[in-house]
Amino acid sequence: MSAEIIDGKAIAAKVRAEVARDVEAFTQRTGRRPGLATILVGDDPASAIYVGGKQKASREVGIEAYDHRPPADATSEEVEALIDQLNADENVSGILCQLPVPDHLDGVHLTGLIDPRKDVDGLTPISAGLLALGRPGLRPCTPAGVMVLLQEAGVDLQGKRAVVIGRSNLFGKPMAQLLLGANATVTIAHSRTRDLPAVCREADVLVAAVGRDRMVKADWVKPGATVIDVGINRAEDGLHGDVDFAAVKEVAGAITPVPGGVGPMTIAMLLRNTLTAAELTAAESEVGAA
Ligand code: NAP
């Protein structure tokens, strides 16, 4: 029997509609809109498309979008001053510094300067630390989106074996921690893992975030397992994931397609994080005013 296809596009649309409704309620209650400031240093065309998509999606749900584009030769001090200014700006609920930045800048250093309460990408050391400690905080968008997909697909993670292939700070590590927080038994695999297919076959939930076109084969997957494909690999015949979708869907119980699976969730979760950040700041000023 063929696997259930987890429709990320539809689930992302649902999240966006929920965020739009909640943004409206927030705006009614506080008299101001949540604001998302994006920083794009330089004019990399792919990054410009990503940032443009985030700006457009923000406006569609009623979030005010502020677009900052320092030139490619901006100094670190100039970008740092911009981040300081946005940290202090009450109209800005969330700040996102689009990576990668030009070579003469340090993206990790710059991201780390963002006020953790405005860290809508969830990538600052404080946000990463809060996640590691299991404390509330803003979570990285793509792994948070995977958790929503699993929930919407009705996957009960409690006590299940989860395997995450990939250990990046951007995705693999936070993904593993979110799964752990949901009481799964989690294995993180990477390029030095021995007998990766055997490790994957133990998974009730298999998450692939490697960046290798259709690496995960049908005989790596336990029959009935849920397979989440995070990979984005561009080939001449189009976009492919890290999972050999055509073959794996005949073995898995549920699977995300590429495109139309994890990808659409990232922006949806960025919007949700921006609203969460706005609510946090509003709650703080209400406490401050009391
Ligand atoms: P990354 O930083 O390059 O990390 C890749 C990970 O895969 C590393 O941990 C690496 O192991 C591991 N790896 C590489 N070759 C392997 C192999 N042969 N066997 C097992 N593990 C292997 O990439 P990333 O930022 O996490 O992204 C991963 C993929 O997800 C990319 O295709 C990216 O485009 C995609 N992505 C999609 C979204 C989205 O919105 N849909 C968001 C983020 C990322 P080592 O650590 O040992 O090198």
Which atom of ligand 1 lies nearest, measured to the CA of 167? 9
- Judge whether 89 counts as a catalytic residue: no
**pLDDT of res. 284:** 82
Ligand 1 atom 47: the closest Cα is on which residue? 191
Residue 283: predicted pLDDT: 84
Do 170 and 238 share a structural domain? yes
Q: Where are the alpha helices (DSSP H) in the chain?
A: 8-30, 45-60, 76-88, 107-112, 125-133, 141-152, 172-181, 196-201, 245-248, 263-289
Q: Is the CB of 199 under 6 A from ligand 1?
A: no
Cα separation of 72 and 74, whole Å? Answer: 6
How many other C-beta atoms are found inside a 10 Å radius of the C-beta of residue 31? 7
Neighbours of 50 (CB within 10 A): 17
Domain count, the chain: 2
In terms of residue numbers, what domain contains 70?
31-115
CATH of the domain at 160: 3.40.50.720
Residue 239 CB–ligand 1 contact under 6 Å: no
Ligand 1 close to Cβ of residue 63 (< 6 A): no
Q: Is residue 125 part of a domain?
A: no
- pLDDT < 70 stretches in the chain: 290
Last residue of a domain, one of 115, 149, 183: 115
What is the pLDDT, as a whole number, of residue 152?
98
Residue 290 has what pLDDT? 65
Q: Which has the closest alpha carbon to 134: 183, 168, 72, 86?
A: 183
Q: Are 117 and 277 in contact (CB under 8 A)?
A: yes
In a domain, 5, yes or no: no
Q: Is position 121 annotated as part of the catalytic site? A: yes
Q: What is the CATH number of the domain that holds 111?
A: 3.40.50.10860
Same domain (yes/no): 151, 248:
yes
Q: Is residue 2 part of a domain?
A: no
Q: List, for residues 184-224, the tens digit of each pLDDT value.
A: 999 999 999 999 999 999 999 999 999 999 999 999 999 99
Domain shared by 38 and 93, yes or no: yes
